[in-house]
Amino acid sequence: MSMRRILAAPVLAFTLVAGAAGAQDSGLGKPLTESDIKQWDIAVLPDGSNLPPGSGTPTQGAKIFAEKCSACHGDAAKGGIAPYYPALIGGQPLTNGIDTVKTIANYYAYPTTIFDYVRRAMPYNMPRSLGDDEVYALTAYLLALNKLIGDGDAMDAKTLPQVKMPNRDNFIMPYPDRL
Amino acid sequence: MSQGRCRHGAPVLDVVAGNGLINRRALLGSGMTIAGGLAAGTVTGAAAESLADAPWSLAVGEIMPAVQTPSSFEKDVTRALSNPNGEFRTSHARTPHQRLGGTVTPNRLHFSINHGGIPNIDPAEHKLVIHGMVRRPLEFTLESLSRYPLVTRMAFVECAGNSAPMFAKEPLQTTVQMLHGLVSNAEWTGVPLSTLLDEAGIDPTAKWLVAEGADAQFLDRSVPVKKAYDDALIAIYQNGEHLMPGNGYPMRLLLPGYQGNMNVKYLRRIKVIDQPAYSYFETKNYSQILPGGKTWRFHFLMEVKSFITHPSFGQSIKQPGLYAISGLAYSGTGRIAKVMVSADGGKSWGETALQGPIHDKAFTRFVMPWRWDGQPAILQSRAYDDGGNVQPLRAEFVALRGEASRPVTTPLTFPNQHYNSITSWAVDSTGAIKHVYA
């Protein structure tokens, strides 16, 4: 019976600590606020949620592209060494074959993906070196090159999600029950 | 059918299917003698020589190292690199399955793909944040995760682009490593993701997570909450040691049976959301074009598959006689139930022995004795899982998924994704092995 008494003390202490932090709680996670996470919270969703303030035009984007992107992606985004540095303009119809090169114009479902990926990953050798205005400008430039917006259209948190991508409604899901 | 048994009850080397496939139970038990049947085409070795002591037995051996490395005679057992010079692009390292046995991929040979190089992460500084549609955002470290009661499981991880060269209209003459080296299998240890989501207080209406790494691309993927609560882990050990840098050190998401890219490495953030993010990788690379031009999204599942590793392309059979056909089988939906092997290009099939224990969503090795009579043979394997899924024959697969429209000149390209049909090795009368479609 003395054994039980020895064990009882730490169990009681644990219950009290856990009770303070929540019933199912280990107390091992450190609580944060969303404002602590703001700098990390970069994922932009197709409905435009989480797009930052700022804007940019195709003309501004062309200048940035020539300086920071064309070394790999070629002049006017016509492509570098295939398949590693793909063209960012044009694209064949997907009916050409199951190995058709996927591009912004023939494949992407949402324009927000361009903004999100450029901001998180490009330029390859200097990720996160672009400001949000520059990312908007590059996104606008790529959309305009692909005739998906006009040459004078500025992209920002309101206009970008409204751009309709040609392949958006062509997707089907093999396993909808898994979602 | 067995026509007889030796003294201890093991079956004799009965042929069970065409071109010399032998009862799978043969040679696996104690007391087996090679009875009858084998006489035709037995070893025709040189006359016996008298045995002498080898030089390594006549001197003291080498000093023991702190970290073991394989024998110097194994130095060519390496991963195959797509980008050995590290140019600014994605790099792949493929596992040499044709040089390995068993089911556990050694950590140094586990496949790896990195889209922005391998980050050198200080585990004392690395943080994992869970936030979004939760009652209370939380931050974890390797130290705090290590204090949980950890769980351990086997799981394969397979790139959705593994076996992609087999979309080629003509079979590429290359090894198992180059065709199927973007899958590996390990014992993973970590914390169930559901435990952490419950602690953060996930909103019951949330359907998706965005999982994001701390690599140079902040690689991110959308993951269904359903999968997170099924069997997802935050893995911190791989085969008993902390993760390899190329496999996500110090922590990664493990989604057993789901495409490798979703098993986000260097995991730093999980945001609970109400819609998928359509990140770059789920939008483009890991989405497939179907014949006719429709496109598949959120495929996720790596379906039932197998391939023969021994014998296979690059190896040769020296003389007629007894060999073991051996290979790997796995399914993203469950356990392997059965693997059939053919030595006559699919005309007849025999059931293989499975090396246990058979784990959920993990490699299972199959083995089958085979007596090669010196005539041409076509070796194939076909896996069945415990959910009733069957590895498709090539004709079935091509009818559904198509073939590349352009010639495929290198196994390093990805004409499409999620290939899980049969691999065929043709043995000619000299014992040379070619890759064929049959």
Q: Is A151 on the interface with B (CB under 8 A)?
A: no
Give SS3 for B60.
coil
A6 pLDDT tier (thresholds 50, 70, 90):
very low
Can you give the pLDDT of all 438 residues of chain B as single tens digits?
444 455 555 566 788 999 999 999 888 875 444 333 344 444 455 567 899 999 999 999 999 999 999 999 999 999 999 999 988 889 999 999 999 999 999 999 999 999 999 999 999 999 999 999 999 999 999 999 999 999 999 999 999 999 999 999 999 999 999 999 999 999 999 999 999 999 999 999 999 999 999 999 999 999 999 999 999 999 999 999 999 999 999 999 999 999 999 999 999 999 999 999 999 999 999 999 999 999 999 999 999 999 999 999 999 898 999 999 999 999 999 999 999 999 999 999 999 999 999 999 999 999 999 999 999 999 999 999 999 999 999 999 999 999 999 999 999 999 999 999 999 999 999 999 999 999
The CATH number for B182's domain is: 3.90.420.10
Q: Tell me if B86 is assigned to some domain.
A: no
- The mean of the pLDDT values for chain A is 88
The CA-based diameter of chain B, rounded to the nearest angstrom, is 78
Distance, in Å, from the CA atom of B162 to the CA atom of B209, rounded to the nearest integer, reads 25
Q: Tell me if B192 is assigned to some domain.
A: yes
What CATH number is given for A34-170 in this structure? Answer: 1.10.760.10
* Total residues found in chain A within this entry: 179
pLDDT of residue A24: 65
pLDDT of residue A84: 78
Containing B340, the helix (H) or strand (E) segment is: strand B336-342
Which residues of chain B lie closer than 8 angstroms to A127, CB-CB? 116, 216-218
pTM, to two decimals: 0.91
Q: What is the 3-state secondary structure (H, E, C) of B262-321?
A: HCCCCEEEEEEECCCCCCHHHHCCCCEECCCCCEECCCCECCCEEEEEECCCCCECCCCE
Residue A161's Cα: distance from chain center in Å? 13
**pLDDT tens-digit profile of A24-75?**
689 999 999 999 999 999 999 999 999 999 999 999 999 999 999 999 999 9
Nearest CA in chain A to B225: A179
Q: A153 and A58 in contact (C-beta within 8 Å)?
A: yes
Distance, in Å, from the CA atom of B15 to the CA atom of B9, rounded to the nearest integer, reads 17
Which residues of chain A lie closer than 8 angstroms to B90, CB-CB? 84
Every domain of chain A with CATH number 1.10.760.10 lies at 34-170
Q: Tell me if B26 is assigned to some domain.
A: no
CA count, 13 A, side-chain hemisphere, B194? 12
Which member of A40, A98, A100 has the closest CB to residue B129? A40
Angle at B58 between CA B57 and CA B62, to 5 degrees: 70
Computed from CA positions of residues B388, B389, B393, B396, in that sequence, does the dihedral angle turn out positive or negative? positive
A107's tokens? 């494949």
Q: Tell me if B354 is assigned to some domain.
A: no
Number of domains observed in the structure of chain B: 1
Contacts of residue B281, Cβ cutoff 8 Å, sequence gap at least 6: B219, B220, B221, B261
Contact B271 A41 (CB under 8 A): yes
Q: Tell me if B276 is assigned to some domain.
A: yes
Is 50 exceeded by the pLDDT of residue A13? no
Distance, in Å, from the CA atom of B257 to the CA atom of B250, rounded to the nearest integer, reads 21
Contact B298 A34 (CB under 8 A): no
Distance, in Å, from the CA atom of A163 to the CA atom of A52, rounded to the nearest integer, reads 17
Distance, in Å, from the CA atom of B381 to the CA atom of B423, rounded to the nearest integer, reads 7
Range of the domain at B143: 128-290
Which residues of chain A lie closer than 8 angstroms to B278, CB-CB? 45-46, 109-110, 112-113
Question: Cis peptide before B250, with omega less than 30 degrees from 0?
Answer: yes
A87 pLDDT tier (thresholds 50, 70, 90):
confident
Average pLDDT over residues A101-120: 97
pLDDT of residue A176: 85
Q: What is the ipTM score, two decimals? A: 0.90
